Amino acid sequence: MNTDTETMNTAETTMHQMLRRYFGYQQFRPLQQEVIGDVMAGNDTFVLMPTGGGKSLCYQIPSLLLPGLTVVVSPLIALMKDQVDGLTAAGVPATFINSTLDAAEAGRRKQQVLSGQIKLLYVAPERLVLPDFLALLNRANVSLVAIDEAHCISEWGHDFRVEYRRLTILREKFPTVPIIALTATANERVQQDILQQLQLRNAKLHRAGFNRPNLSYAVKQKTTSLVSLFQIVEQHRGESGIIYCGSRARTEKLTEQLHDRGYRALPYHAGLDRETRTSNQEAFDRDDVEIICATIAFGMGIDKSNVRYIIHYDLPKNIMGYYQETGRAGRDGLPSECVLFYGQGDRAKQMQFISEKPDPNDRAVAIQQLNEMVAYAEASQCRRALLLHHFSDDYTATNCGNCDNCLSPNAIETVDATRQAQMLMSCVIRLQERFGVAHVVDVLRGSGAAKILNYRHNLLPTYGIGEATSKSEWMWLARAMVTAGYLNQDAESFNALRMTQLGREVLRNRQTIMLQRRREESSGRQERERSPRATSGLPEHNIELFQRLRQLRKRIADQEQVPAYIVFGDNTLIAMATRLPRTLEEMRMVSGVGEMKTKRYGTVFLEAIAEFFHEQPNIEKVERSIPDFVPPELSAMVLATLHAYRPGMDPQDIATARQIAKSTVMAHLESLVAHGKFDTVAPFVSPEKIEPIRAAFRRNGLAALRPVMDDLPADFATWDELRLVRADEYRKQQTNRQAITEAY
């Protein structure tokens, strides 16, 4: 083995040691190891990774390995505090400096930074660019700058912040320091803007898939919105949820209605003073209240891992914002629910705000984004696929099995829209493809609006031919025609409707046009049953133990004045309640329990488990997939390993050929096997081992390797062999599910 390979292996071993020691995880999530490797090599790096995908570790672990200070730019004070609290609990020397500190405390923390006691420093963008603060950093041996929520720097993003633009000074002030930019929501245009604005040099791009399999998506009609909303909230009673509303008045009113029904809820919007907003958010973080009713002012400052549901009571302005907000659910990987309430009047309300924009180009972009959001709400196809395609994610499944459209195919009806579609397309042509949907519909319905008369469109043959059809029905038809590819909207021409080649052929040949739409939604009970709680499927005693551990966590969190999830996340407590550790060593093997947390909390949680054992001696271990195994994503680096492979090569041969570490090759092979690029693992695992390992996974589930290793004879298999067989078993299960789906 050459020196470079030995160095890479040593570095990867150290990364894994930091991961286990401080964060309590046994393995990296997809892309984390590759990102950390690039950062440690001194490269500028851009990371696009969904919420809950583990972005923070991509700079937190390098901060522990690099010699100097890592500066993290974070947009909100509450987010800084939560992250620092979590890092401190894990034993990482981190702090923040912001406006909540008095001069003496801020001075003390600055001295800690200069003396090298701090490895991670969180600051807001406004403070970072101040001359005196830049002078402090010049004396502090900065090794890395991390810019979180990097989409805020782009005017094309959903949450643009002017202060982020000033971060361009970083390249000038720290020309040799690597920069890592991270975000969960950025389409292609926003990605390019981030790279340009931050002047990232030959940046290594890491783009994880946007899919969040643990999130369910559904759209419900507003005709029964309040009743349906309370059904959702009741199903999740005792669990944390966020309800997004379109106005301050709506948040206040809904909070009162929830209070009247016995729920612990608080409002959050820009009309509240800063102290109240902070207090309400802290109450939510610490599980003192279970529900926050909020405007979109409540968002990025949430690092809470156990939000079990997100409800949008009003239509968001665009898909990027919607995806960001739903991303606050299920950060711990447990099942969580995202529900959007939609009514025909929602688009008109948003159009009123858009009409107030002075710049016509801004209006055109906003209308296009709104139309995309409406198309999502009215869609009859897989909602997950629609979201992922918006971000150019290569998602090919035809049924995700976790959205309302895929779970309730009988709720989709196919209608013959030929006659009205012909009217619509004829009108578009008569208007020379120069006008938007609203104007076309007004012509069809025979409107006497001044604009119609001024253009003399009341003289067209199509004027008034559709007066018997409601405006909302015409608007739906136009959007459905765009979605189906018969029409498109030209964003550069104020969203004018234009014919596509398909539309012209269909109209010329008078072909039948069938469109899909949702019927009136089915009963709330039926849909609620399809949204499992985090503890679904567990025996009663294990659920009871989980609830007792939650109460213990809450007491500890209150004593330490930190959010409950800072102590342990729900997924870690569920793992304790199912694996039933009896010793500190067994506790240390639970995912999310690192070295520091074992020392701080291990004994008291073991005592609680032992006490429960005494009361319920028949409780048994339950091995379950929490979260379900999610295979590493395919990437350019992974596919390069596939191209380098030749029959007869073992993993070390591939590593030597590619000049990368063997452990990296094993991670690539795991991804390739799971995604069906290899139809057998026999080239890498002894054939006599494969079936016994596969049987052990079928007994214990795919989520954790440790139960499988313990289930097999001593020294029967290596961890790498387990990973490859697990990937192959995952591939087989997915293939079988798809075959069953297609059969029906």
> Into how many domains does the chain fold?
5
Helices (H) and strands (E) in the chain, counts: 35, 17
Is 521 part of a structural domain of the chain? no
Residue 241 and residue 290 in contact, taking contact as beta carbons nearer than 8 Å: yes
Is 288 part of a structural domain of the chain? yes
Q: What is the pLDDT of residues 596-622, one digit of tens each?
A: 899 999 999 999 999 998 888 888 877
| Residue partners of 550: CB distance under 8 A and separation at least 6 | 564, 570, 573
Lowest mean pLDDT among 18-32, 37-51, 361-375, 389-403: 389-403
Same domain, 198 and 228: no
Average pLDDT over every residue of 460-475: 90
738 has pLDDT over 70: no
Q: How far apart are CA 668 and CA 642, in angstroms?
A: 8
Q: How far apart are CA 723 and CA 734, in angstroms?
A: 16
Same domain, 551 and 658: no
Q: What is the pLDDT of residues 214-223, one digit of tens each?
A: 899 999 888 6
Same domain, 226 and 361: yes
Q: Which residue has the higher pLDDT, 435 or 210?
A: 435
Is 8 part of a structural domain of the chain? no
105 has pLDDT over 70: yes
Q: What are the φ/ψ torsions at residue 60 (nearest 5 degrees)? A: -70, -40
Same domain, 240 and 117: no
Q: How far apart are CA 561 and CA 565, in angstroms?
A: 12
pLDDT of 344: 66
Three-state SS string over 440-471 comes to HHHHHCCCCCHHHHHCCHHHCCCCCCCCCCCH
Same domain, 365 and 450: no
Lowest mean pLDDT among 191-200, 507-516, 699-708: 699-708
343-350's contacts with Cβ under 8 Å and 24+ in sequence apart are 343/221, 343/222, 343/223, 343/225, 344/472, 344/475, 346/222, 346/314, 346/315, 346/374, 346/377, 347/315, 347/374, 347/475, 349/246, 349/314, 349/315, 350/315, 350/317
302 has pLDDT over 80: no
Query: What three-state secondary structure class fits 33?
Result: helix
Residue 444 and residue 438 in contact, taking contact as beta carbons nearer than 8 Å: no
Is 153 part of a structural domain of the chain? yes
pLDDT tier at 255 (50, 70, 90 boundaries)?
A: very high
pLDDT tier at 517 (50, 70, 90 boundaries)?
A: confident
Whole-number Cα distances in Å, 65 to 14, 36, 230, 300, 536: 8, 10, 49, 28, 40
Of 342-356, 391-405, 590-604, which has the strongest mean pLDDT? 590-604
CATH number where 43 lies: 3.40.50.300
Find tokens 């180009």 and name the residue.
Answer: 361
- How many other C-beta atoms can be found within 10 angstroms of the C-beta atom of residue 453? 12
pLDDT tier at 526 (50, 70, 90 boundaries)?
A: very low
481 has pLDDT over 60: yes
pLDDT of 529: 41
4 has pLDDT over 60: no
Q: Which domain holds residue 473?
A: 418-512
pLDDT of 59: 93
Average pLDDT over every residue of 236-254: 92
**471-484 helix and 437-444 helix, angle to the nearest 10 degrees:** 130
Same domain, 285 and 326: yes
Residue 269 and residue 566 in contact, taking contact as beta carbons nearer than 8 Å: no
Say what percent of the chain tops pLDDT 70.
89
Same domain, 508 and 641: no
Q: What is the pLDDT of residues 537-584, one digit of tens each?
A: 678 888 899 999 999 999 999 998 888 888 998 888 988 998 899 999
pLDDT of 324: 84
Same domain, 184 and 302: no
Mean pLDDT of the residues in the chain: 84
Is 140 part of a structural domain of the chain? yes
- How many other C-beta atoms can be found within 10 angstroms of the C-beta atom of residue 714? 6
pLDDT tier at 491 (50, 70, 90 boundaries)?
A: low
Same domain, 201 and 234: no
Whole-number Cα distances in Å, 77 to 111, 126, 446, 510, 730: 21, 12, 54, 60, 41
pLDDT tier at 530 (50, 70, 90 boundaries)?
A: very low
Q: What is the pLDDT of residues 653-695, one digit of tens each?
A: 888 888 776 767 888 898 899 888 888 898 999 989 999 998 8
Q: Which residue has the higher pLDDT, 523 or 101?
A: 101
pLDDT tier at 421 (50, 70, 90 boundaries)?
A: very high
pLDDT tier at 519 (50, 70, 90 boundaries)?
A: low
Burial of 637 (0-12, 13-18, 19+ CB in 10 A): middle
Average pLDDT over every residue of 143-161: 79
Q: DSSP letter at 403?
A: B
pLDDT of 627: 43
Average pLDDT over every residue of 435-439: 90
pLDDT tier at 720 (50, 70, 90 boundaries)?
A: confident
Average pLDDT over every residue of 67-77: 88
Is 108 part of a structural domain of the chain? yes
| Structure-token pair, residue 251 | 């948040």
Say what percent of the chain tops pLDDT 90.
30
pLDDT of 24: 83
pLDDT tier at 626 (50, 70, 90 boundaries)?
A: very low
Residue 416 and residue 478 in contact, taking contact as beta carbons nearer than 8 Å: no
Same domain, 356 and 423: no
Same domain, 486 and 546: no
Same domain, 274 and 341: yes
pLDDT of 513: 92
